[in-house]
Structure 1
């Protein structure tokens, strides 16, 4: 299976590295194609190219938008682009964003970025290899990177 991982130089943590480590630790027979782009608005085309030019069956797009209002707007535009790329290619692109203002302290932000990257990597493996497991988790209030909210 070919999996694409696309990350950015703008992020303050190596989210792609954490995701790749998690993928390799939990599955064999994976071919991981890793691309790095400058910022989150570059993720949609890089993800689409991983699908169309590198034959990836699924892609993780990882980024860390900054705390300013402009950064939030760029994150929204990138997210919209990732959705369009999914629809254009009929392929899942897991958006894994950690906003810098989600945590006030750098050590907590680093922990969040690592946990979210790793948990989404495990979600990717479930989607591809054990979809019934993911179905069992529907409605469970699971949160990537933070404590689960739990079901109602």
Structure 2
């Protein structure tokens, strides 16, 4: 990623919310990535048990901690019930965004996305970092995402490319 250190936004509060259910510490990867590009901001991390706990935790980061953007990181399991819970959590995250008028970047990695545990670990780390880069682009490098519009970008997987 190009140098994104240039910024008109300083001293921003960034919320990071993850779960104990996840099998990889995606929050640490996201925090590391953000600090590499915009280290002068306050990052507030909260950890909850599972993905269904993310919406209220993210909303509290916004309303009670003053976060201006939040990342919600989770790793739903492979079962049908896990996918249902992930869908419900995603719906809750959308509702929390609308209620607070604040972006919450959902970063979910389903356990059955990886071909094996090594691949799953790589995917979780890569997706967390690429979404953290998106956060940096959204708030610290105005216009950067517009240059990537229609380019078939994929977080965690190889990009598909434009048509």
CA distance in structure 2 between the aligned counterparts of 1:103 and 1:9, rounded to whole angstroms: 19
Asked whether 1:13 is paired with 2:29, we answer no
Secondary structure of the corresponding residue to residue 136 of structure 1? helix
Equivalent residue, structure 2, for 1:108: 119
Q: Deviation at 1:131? A: 2.5
CA distance in structure 2 between the aligned counterparts of 1:120 and 1:131, rounded to whole angstroms: 16
Count of paired positions: 152
RMSD over equivalenced CA pairs, Å: 0.5
Asked whether 1:31 is paired with 2:42, we answer yes
CA distance in structure 2 between the aligned counterparts of 1:105 and 1:30, rounded to whole angstroms: 36
Return 5+ residue gaps in structure 2 as ranges.
1-11
TM-score normalised over the length of structure 1:
0.99
Return 5+ residue gaps in structure 1 as ranges.
none
After superposition, where does 1:55-134 map in structure 2 within 5 Å?
55-134=66-145
Return structure 1 stretches of 4+ with deviation > 6 angstroms. none
TM-score normalised over the length of structure 2:
0.92
CA distance in structure 2 between the aligned counterparts of 1:104 and 1:112, rounded to whole angstroms: 10
Q: Deviation at 1:7? A: 0.2
Equivalent residue, structure 1, for 2:3: none
